[in-house]
Structures are given as structure tokens and as C-alpha cells.
Structure 1
Amino acid sequence: MKISETRLKGSYIIQPQIFKDKRGYFMESYNMESLRKFTGLNIDFVQDNESQSSKGVLRGLHYQIEEFAQAKLVRVVRGRVLDVAVDLRINSKTFGDHITVELSAENKKQLFVPRGFAHGFVVLEDDTIFSYKCDNYYNKEAERGIFYNDLDLEIDWHLPNSDLIISDKDLLLPKFKNAEL
């Protein structure tokens, strides 16, 4: 397993080692000891989530506040997404910056998104299955978000705005400067 930190401190790209033969492939998708050893983080994942989406579906940018904040380990089981993480840590040198990573069933990359980040993704292929682990349980009252197309964030979602499918709830999210952090 290869783990490398992104330019946003505390966020990591994880590339599992894949063993292929005539039967197919095998990979270790998660190893708590390896993640802890490389990052120094003591992460205990308590909840797994999965979504299936069509091309153009945009989910995000979501986060939870205070003691309900969540770290996530995200990956794609089938299809392809552009995954986005935005640093919301007020005292961070990269506050308000974001990274984008293409995650796919083919490349098997994963992204570790620490607490204090907003997260979202846009689906680049039909019938995509997105899966993620969380280190804290979902809490509806602590759920927050930022409008996906906020000009202050300058996120290139790689699809024309007219092709995006966004929930009514996500269309009402506040701009970054008005977000509750």
C-alpha cells in the first residue's frame, strides 16, 4: 500500500497494491496499522456508507461540525468520480483551498479526508458506486455544507454546469464565506 500526503496537510491518497492473475485481482483496501503507521493518526472507522449514482450527479460539499465532525476514507467500487476535499480548518495554512482526485474502479485510489474538511464528488460515469468509511456517526443536526459552485473556491468539476444533477438541498447550501465552521 502506497500512502502519500496531498498538499493539504492531513489529507492522503492511498494506492493499494494490486495482485492480478488469470482469476482476476486481489487487493487490501484498508489496513488500520499501515494508515496509523504512515500518518500517525489514530483512526477508528465506525460507519461505512455507499451510494450509486448516474453520470453528472454531484454530491456535496458536505461536512459535520464540532464533536460530530467526520474523517472519511473514500473510494470507488464501480465507475469513476472526481472527488473534492476543501480545507475548512480556520488556522490551517491551506484554509479554503481544495484538492481534486479522480477515483475509479480502475485506478483503485482512495482519498483520506480528515476532520475539518468539506467533501463532495461528481460522477463521471453512469452506474458508479461510491463507498466510504467514517470515523464518527452521522448526526443530522450537525450536518452542514457549502454551495458546490462558489466562485471563491474555484472548483473545476470537469463537467458543464448544465450536465450536473444536484439535489434541491445541495442547491440551497450557503457560500463559503457564509458557511458555519
Structure 2
Amino acid sequence: MEELSIEGAWEITPQLHGDPRGLFTEWYRFDKLAAVVGHPLRLAQANLSVSSRDVVRGIHFADVPPGQAKYVTCVRGAVLDVIVDLRVGSPTFGRWQGVRLDEDERKAVYISEGLGHGFCALSDDATLTYLCSEPFNPTGEHGVHPLDPELGIEWPAGTPQLSAKDAQAPSLSEALASGLLPDYQAVKAFTAGLGAERP
């Protein structure tokens, strides 16, 4: 596992075992993740998302506490997975980093509580599966507009296709002014306590 430039986000490159019959890989290991992150990932929900080429989903985040950590991989096609630091007071606040996830290398990303997440489908029927630490909570889930010039995310899409909800999401400045964004120190304190709570 390799920590990305945004604290709380990691890229996982699994070992692939292939022969003429097919392929085997351990795409998720709770013990290896816990050793790096400092606590096990509580498995509360698993999602599957299928998107057409040029679809952009996100940038989504959840209130902390409890937040929603995610472990994401692409099982078909390819996506550019994007992590955005939305934690007010973080040294990398407002920055983003992208990781290509595809069916060839089978990489995954771990996105801790308080970070924003989105992706762009690079192929038709791009299929993501992700494990979540908390169930979906519609009253505690929020978004920032993925095309906000202040974020400056370089989406690899000719014409990004957004959902109506994502297209109406506030800009980073608007979300900041409204008090919607998580606080960096509060997020750090919350995640530090997860090791004791989740044996």
C-alpha cells in the first residue's frame, strides 16, 4: 500500500496470479489495510456502480462523525478515481489526486473519513465496487460540484455527464461558507479513536 499525496488516502496494488485458466487476486485484505490505516475497515455496506464513458460521479462526502470510509476497485473497464481533500484546516485542503483503476492492474484505493470522492468512467460499462464503513445516510451525505474551477480537476472526458444532483452541488467556496465541510482536526480525532472502538 502506498499513501497518496493527500493524507488519509492510499493506493493498493494487489499481486495478480494468472495462467491460461484465468486470474486470482486478493483485492481486499482487512489485516494489511488495518496495519497501515491504524484500524480495521468496518464493513457496513457494499456498493456496485456501472457508468457509461464520460460519466462523472461525485464529488461526494459524508458528515464526520461518522463519515464514510471507502475501499474502491474497478472490476470492469476503467475509471479515473479522484480523491479531494475537503477537510477545512488540512495542509492539502482543496487539492485532488487521481488514480486510474482498471480491470487489468486491479488496483484499489482507500479513502478515509472526511475526504471527497468521485470518478470519471474511461470506458463503457465501467464497473466499480466499493466497501463502505457506514451505511448510506441521505441526511448526512453531501457533494461539491465536480466541475468547480477552484478545484480544477482534470476530468478525462470530452463532455462530462453529470447527474442532476451533482450538477446542482455547491462549489467548494459555497460549501465552505455554509459550514458544510468537515473540520480537519475533528476528523483526525475521530479516526484516531476508531482503533479502540473497532477490534
Is contact 2:31-2:40 (8 Å) kept?
A: no
1:155 — aligned with what? 153
Using the size of structure 2 for normalisation, the TM-score is 0.86
Return the alpha-carbon distance in structure 2 between the equivalents of residues 82 and 66 of structure 1.
Answer: 25
1:142 — aligned with what? 140
Return the alpha-carbon distance in structure 1 between the equivalents of residues 138 and 99 of structure 2.
Answer: 27
Match of 2:170 among 165, 174, 179: 174
Return the alpha-carbon distance in structure 1 between the equivalents of residues 165 and 7 of structure 2.
Answer: 30
Return the alpha-carbon distance in structure 2 between the equivalents of residues 164 and 87 of structure 1.
Answer: 21
Is contact 2:64-2:113 (8 Å) kept?
A: no
1:28 — aligned with what? 26
Return the alpha-carbon distance in structure 2 between the equivalents of residues 80 and 157 of structure 1.
Answer: 13
Q: Deviation at 1:86? A: 0.5
Q: Deviation at 1:10? A: 1.5
Return the alpha-carbon distance in structure 2 between the equivalents of residues 7 and 66 of structure 1.
Answer: 21
Q: Deviation at 1:41? A: 3.0
Using the size of structure 1 for normalisation, the TM-score is 0.94
Q: Which runs of 5+ in 2 are unaligned?
A: 182-199
Identity level (%)? 37
RMSD over aligned Cα, in angstroms? 1.0
Q: Deviation at 1:165? A: 1.5
Q: Which secondary structure does the structure 2 equivalent of 1:165 belong to? A: coil
Counterpart check, 1:51 vs 2:70: no
Q: Which runs of 5+ in 1 are unaligned?
A: none
Q: Deviation at 1:100? A: 0.5
Counterpart check, 1:111 vs 2:109: yes
Return the alpha-carbon distance in structure 1 between the equivalents of residues 26 and 124 of structure 2.
Answer: 26
